Every structure is written in structure tokens, then in C-alpha cells.
Structure 1
Amino acid sequence: MNIIKTILNDFPVIILDGALATELEKRGFNINDSLWSAKILAENPKAIEDVHYDYFVSGADCAITSSYQATIDGFMNKGYTKSQSESFIKRSVEIARNARDRFWAETSNRKNRHKPFIAGSVGPYGAYLADGSEYSGNYEVSEKKLIDFHRTRIKFLVEAGIDILACETIPGLTEAKVIVKLLEEFPKIYAWISFSCKNDHEISEGTTIKECANFLNSCEQVAAVGVNCTAPKYINSLIGEIKKVSNKPIVVYPNSGEKYDVCSKTWYGDSSSEAFSIAAREWFKNGAKLIGGCCRTTPDYIKAVFKILKK
């Protein structure tokens, strides 16, 4: 079932959740690690469940699992067994589902809402490398290497019962094409593919978003296409470029608007939930159908987006 199509038949917009890793960091967890937020999968799964739950309360129609940087090799490099590593990836789905079911059990939460769904996060190969290449796409590996890398995690997420795959922060078209090819091995599952972008018309590696959207438009298992982990100031233009060549629902979940210093590993600049929600209204008016937040956005951001869009 294409869950995105199903919900959009009844509602004009789907509200996604916001940041997971930086929200965990805000709550006192140390994620300065090659596993990033996946580290907490092994150490404190209840903390992840609480973040998911808070996003549902704030208005999110979807929880994106904490599997963005969860890979077998990544966990095994930290000393976990292969069996443990597999269980952590599947646990990310169980955690999100537990949060969703806890929220949905409270009948007062069901008013004018669709039952929230679970999107299995699939980060790019560069996220596993943890060297910054997830924002450039400059990793020279074979197509077979990429397929083998993504296959294992996708297999475990599908087996764990996700509703859709969220193939996110993809920096290059080649990797997107690999994911589309791999989806054929899982014919019953749909995915959205969202790219990280460096300006108002190019994804991180330099390919235009228009070329990417044009390729994905003919891919049956791709339920939506868009951008994430990108500066909000570029979103309206990127939506416009996608609309020129694609009739698929457009998904956008940019960063808060703050900037990240890769040297000091710190964020700087100003942002606010109010400004973000006002921008979200423009993204919706311009054609985005799935809207949420990425790095540094919080439950307050999603609550503000929910209020301004669900009117």
C-alpha cells in the first residue's frame, strides 16, 4: 500500500516529525560518535521512544526511525555482534511503533487525524563513513558496493514492518538510482527519496534537483520526491524545480535555518519555530505535500507547523 497516496486522498498535507539526533543531544545525550543517533538505539531506546511520542503529540503524522546511521558494519565496528546489530536496526521500528501505539491509544488524539505511520530511515553511504561525505557524495565506490550496503538495512526495516522507506539526505543521483534498482527486490514496499541540496537548484554533488526529479518521476515504487537537511531559504525554489518535471507528491523537511560548522561541530545562527512555520505555509502553497523538519528542529517547530497548516 502506498501510505502517502492513501493519506493524501483524505488530507491536504502530511506533517512529518522533526530532528531526532539533535533533539536527543538537546536532552543531554552524547551523540558525538560515528554511530550518531544510532548509538542511543543500543544504549537508551526509551529516550528515542519519548522523542517520537512528543512529535506525535505535537502533530506529526509520521515517525522516521532512528536507523539513519544504523548499519551492520557500523555497529560491528563498535564491538557489537552481527546478531545484535541486526536487532538494533529492527528495534528502531519497534520503538517508533510503540510510541505511535501509545499515542493513538489515547482516543482524544484521533480527532481530524490519520493514524500516524512509520517511515524507515535509510541514510546515504556517506553517513556510515562519518567523514562528511554524506553532504558531498564524493565517495568512489562501485554500484555493487552501494547495493550491498543498502540491501541489508532495507531488508531488516521491511521485515520489521515499516510502512514506507525514507531514503533521505541522498547527496547524489547515482546513489538514488541504486536505491531505485534495489527497491525492485522489495516489490511491496514504497519509498520517498529526498536529497540534500547546496543551493536553490542543485543537490549536494552538483546535479540539478530537476534532473533528479525527472528520473524519479517514472519510478513506480517512489511515492514522493523532495529535499531534506537543506537550508530553508532554498526550499521554495527547489519545490518549483521539482514541479517542472514531476507529478509525484513533494516532500520537504529542511534544517532549522541555523548553520553547522564542521570543524567545531557546533551550530550557529538564529531560528525560531514561528519563522519556520510561516515558511512552511509558503512551501505548502507552492506545492509541498509532506512537510517536516530536519536538524535542529524540535517538537515546538512541528507543533507550530501543525497549527498553521492544519487550519
Structure 2
Amino acid sequence: MELQERLKQGDVIIIDGGTGTEMEKRGAPMVEKGWCARSTLTHPELLHQIHEDYIRAGADIIITNTFATSRHVLEACGLSDQFEAINAAATRIACEVRDHTADRPVDVAGSMSTTTFGTAQPPPAVAEANFNRQAEILAEGGADFLILEMMRDIDYTNIVLKAAKRTGLPVWLGYSTAIKEDGQVRLLYHDVSLADALQTLSADDVPVVSIMHTLTEDIGSSLDMLQTHWSGPMGVYAHSGVFKPPHWQFIDIISPADYAAEAAKWVERGVQVIGGCCGIGPEHIEVLSAQLEGSIKGTDQ
């Protein structure tokens, strides 16, 4: 059954957890200004195993290891000549794992992000060209849909959204948020309100909007704002830990049981797409999936 049909009938769909952080946790080296950008080429077998572990844990969607592989990010860390190879390999590995591991329908989401890891954003025309080509590579490689992650402004979100939609594939979008001292829900590291960002979207643009790479304690208020300005399907995949470039600090990581308990609250609020971001691993997804199995997830399959 296609994802859109599952969403329409009210199913809860499980996304995988963090891939870049799981690569680092298992020994793949990170790079300055590019985080996990090179790990697909240096540790392809490890990436293969991580995707497989997430599928076996119950993920209905696995996300390509391309969050940090836009051309301008790779240029900043000296890997621009490997732009095509890295994006193509990441997509191929995810699709191969899906085809050879899954005993049920699993979709591959091609990840794209405007995150630059401290480097200045490129000029809009350069960003547009870079995102156009990245989206093409992900689509040509077999991604079932594209997922825009850690959106934190309006202008560059519109650029990457336009590029993703040019492929003709469905495009999901995820905002990263934080609650400021004044209590306002704003996009992470930017003085842009989530409300303003959401008002630029329509259901014709994206079928699903998620709150992702956000602390679990900030999810509730973020969902309040999301539900005020968005009437379509919602997703949540939070993070746990701290990023000190170029490494993820696995400090005070939420337990799988506690994360599943938080996820249950999100589902009660109508969230249909649940997973994890940085610091959330296969062990979290396994407990989460088991908790939802037989209740809301897949009851009509």
C-alpha cells in the first residue's frame, strides 16, 4: 500500500532513526564542515548494516545518508569532486538494502538539507543549481520520495523545495525548532517563527510536515504551532544529545522506553509519522515500533 494511502486511512508510519550519528557511533570518521558527508564512501558496509538494522527494527521508511552531501557542503570540506559519487552511492545502498532485506513495503526517502555546518549559505542561484542536481541524483537512484530536513529559514527552504518538486516525486518537509526565552517557537538557530514559515506552505507543496531534529521537551509547543497552521499529516522525529562539530556527543541520550513514551503522546495528538533523528538509534525504533504494532500502526494492512 502506498504511503499516501496509508496516511489517508490513519496509519502511523515509522521512520528510521539517525543515520549520521549511528555511523559515528559505530566508528565512521566525521569531517570538519561536513560531518558524516564522506562516510558513505569510506564505510559503505557500515551504512548498509545500519539501514538493515532500522528495517529489522520496524522502520517503514529509511532515509538516505545524504543530509550533509549538497555540493556546497562538500566543497567546504574538500569533497566537491565526489559530489555525484557520494549521493549516488548513498541512494543505491539504501535501495539495495530495502530490496534485499524488507519482507514488507519499505520506502526510501532521499534526504536534502539547507544545513551548511557553519559555512555561509551560497548565493541563491548557486544553491538552486546545487539542489537541482542533488534532487536529480536521488530521484535517478530510486528514491521513492524526497525529504527536506532541518529547514531553518524561509528563503532557502523555498529554493530546496522548488528543486525537489522538479523531480516529480512527493516531497516531505521537516522543520527544526526551539522554544526561545519569550516562549515563542522559532526555527533552530534562526530568528524566524515557525508560524511564519508554515504560512508559506500549502498542501499542494508537501503532503507531510514534520518537526524534526528538535529536543523532545520542545516538541509539544512546536506541535501546538504546527496544528494551528497546518491541517495535513504531521510527523515528529526528535534528537537526543549535543552536536559539537564535527562530532555528536552521546550525552544523556533518552532511553528507548522513555522515547517510546514520548512518541505515544505525539500519536495521541494525531501525529502519523514517527521516528528519530540524531542520537536515536535502532534500539529506539525497535521499542517504538513494538509499542505501536497492533494498536494504531498497520491495523488495516
Q: TM-score range by the shorter chain?
A: 0.7 to 0.9
Q: For residues 73-84 of structure 1, what are the structure 2 equivalents within 5 Å?
A: 73-75=72-74, 82=81, 84=82
Give the aligned partner of residue 244 of structure 1: 228
Match of 1:118 among 108, 111, 125: 108
What SS does the corresponding residue of 2:272 show, helix, strand or coil? strand
| CA 198–77 in structure 1, closer or farther in 2 if over 3 Å, else same | closer
Contact 1:64 1:121 in 2 (8 A): yes
Looking at structure 2, the residues matched to 73 and 179 of structure 1 have their Cα atoms a distance apart, in angstroms, of: 13
Contact 1:17 1:293 in 2 (8 A): yes
Q: CA deviation at 1:85?
A: 2.9
Give the aligned partner of residue 129 of structure 2: 148
Residue-pair matches, total? 289
List runs of 5+ in structure 1 lacking aligned partners.
Answer: 134-138
Looking at structure 1, the residues matched to 242 and 36 of structure 2 have their Cα atoms a distance apart, in angstroms, of: 19
Looking at structure 1, the residues matched to 197 and 97 of structure 2 have their Cα atoms a distance apart, in angstroms, of: 34
Which string of whole-angstrom CA distances, capped at 9 and with x for unpartnered residues, describes residues 168-220 of structure 1?
Answer: 0111122222223334533x21111111112262112122222222321x251
Which string of whole-angstrom CA distances, capped at 9 and with x for unpartnered residues, describes residues 46-102 of structure 1?
Answer: 1101100000000100110001111345546666674x4312211111101111112
Give the aligned partner of residue 47 of structure 2: 48
| CA 11–272 in structure 1, closer or farther in 2 if over 3 Å, else same | same
Contact 2:95 2:142 in 1 (8 A): no
Which string of whole-angstrom CA distances, capped at 9 and with x for unpartnered residues, describes residues 240-289 of structure 1?
Answer: 21111212211211102x33455986343352111100000001111211
Give me the identity figure in percent. Answer: 23
| CA 238–265 in structure 1, closer or farther in 2 if over 3 Å, else same | closer
What SS does the corresponding residue of 2:24 show, helix, strand or coil? helix
Give the aligned partner of residue 5 of structure 1: 4
Give yes or no for the alignment of 1:231 onto 2:215.
yes
Match of 1:175 among 145, 156, 169: 156
TM-score, scaled to structure 2: 0.87
Contact 2:175 2:187 in 1 (8 A): yes
Contact 2:235 2:272 in 1 (8 A): yes
| CA 88–303 in structure 1, closer or farther in 2 if over 3 Å, else same | same
Give yes or no for the alignment of 1:196 onto 2:195.
no
Looking at structure 2, the residues matched to 145 and 75 of structure 1 have their Cα atoms a distance apart, in angstroms, of: 14
Q: For residue 25 of structure 1, what is the amino acid of its counterpart? A: E
Give the aligned partner of residue 209 of structure 1: 194
Match of 2:204 among 217, 220, 223: 220
Q: For residues 29-48 of structure 1, what are the structure 2 equivalents within 5 Å?
A: 29-48=28-47
What SS does the corresponding residue of 1:300 show, helix, strand or coil? helix
Q: For residue 88 of structure 1, what is the amino acid of its counterpart? A: I
What SS does the corresponding residue of 2:280 show, helix, strand or coil? coil
TM-score, scaled to structure 1: 0.84
Looking at structure 1, the residues matched to 64 and 196 of structure 2 have their Cα atoms a distance apart, in angstroms, of: 28
List runs of 5+ in structure 2 lacking aligned partners.
Answer: 296-301
Contact 1:261 1:267 in 2 (8 A): no
Looking at structure 2, the residues matched to 264 and 27 of structure 1 have their Cα atoms a distance apart, in angstroms, of: 13
Looking at structure 1, the residues matched to 233 and 271 of structure 2 have their Cα atoms a distance apart, in angstroms, of: 7
Which string of whole-angstrom CA distances, capped at 9 and with x for unpartnered residues, describes residues 281-307 of structure 1?
Answer: 001111211110011111010011111
Give the aligned partner of residue 136 of structure 1: none
Looking at structure 2, the residues matched to 88 and 140 of structure 1 have their Cα atoms a distance apart, in angstroms, of: 21
Give the aligned partner of residue 164 of structure 1: 145
Give yes or no for the alignment of 1:279 onto 2:262.
yes
Contact 2:38 2:86 in 1 (8 A): no
Q: For residue 54 of structure 2, what is the amino acid of its counterpart? A: Y
| CA 46–263 in structure 1, closer or farther in 2 if over 3 Å, else same | closer
Give the aligned partner of residue 70 of structure 2: 71
Looking at structure 2, the residues matched to 202 and 37 of structure 1 have their Cα atoms a distance apart, in angstroms, of: 26
Contact 2:31 2:77 in 1 (8 A): no
What SS does the corresponding residue of 1:254 show, helix, strand or coil? strand
Q: For residue 286 of structure 1, what is the amino acid of its counterpart? A: R
